[in-house]
Amino acid sequence: MTNPAPPAAVRREDAAVDARSACPVDAVLRLLMGPWTTYILYVLRTQGPRRFGELKREVTGISAKVLTERLRMLEEAQLVRRDYQATIPPQVTYSLAPRGAELTPMLDMVKDLALRWQTEDAVALQPARQAAE
C-alpha cells in the first residue's frame, strides 16, 4: 500500500522550512524581528544591566506583560542574562549575555545607518518645506 501524496499546503510549508534553513541568517533575524526585541537589546547594550522597572521606563511604550515575554524569550535564546538575588524585595537584573554581546557590532551598525538615514531624510525634506513657506 502506498502513502498518498501530502496536500499542497503541507508541501509548500515544507518548502518554506527548507528555504529558511538554507539561509544562515534567517533564525537570527526571526529572533531579532520580534516586537521590542532590538529596542530591549539596544538599551541593555548602551545602558548596561537594568532592573525590570528601569527597562520598562527606558523602553518607552512597552507593557509589563510584553516586556516580560520578550525578556523570557531573549533569556531562552541566551541573548540576555537574568540575575536573581533573593533579597527582600527580590532583586532581578537583566544584562546582555555573551551571545547577546556578540550582537554589539551589528546593533551599532544599524544605529549608525538609522542616524545617517534620518539625516538624509531631513535634508531631502528641506526643499519641500522651504517651497511650502
Give mean pLDDT, residues 37-43.
95
Residue whose C-alpha is closest to residue 51's, from 71, 35, 76, 73 = 71
Express each pLDDT in 79-117 by its tens digit: 999 999 999 988 999 999 999 999 999 999 999 999 999
Q: Write down all domains in the chain, each with its CATH number in brackets.
A: 22-132 (1.10.10.10)
pTM score, two decimals?
0.74
Sign of the C-alpha dihedral computed for residues 26, 29, 84 and 49 taken in this order: positive
Give mean pLDDT, residues 26-50.
93
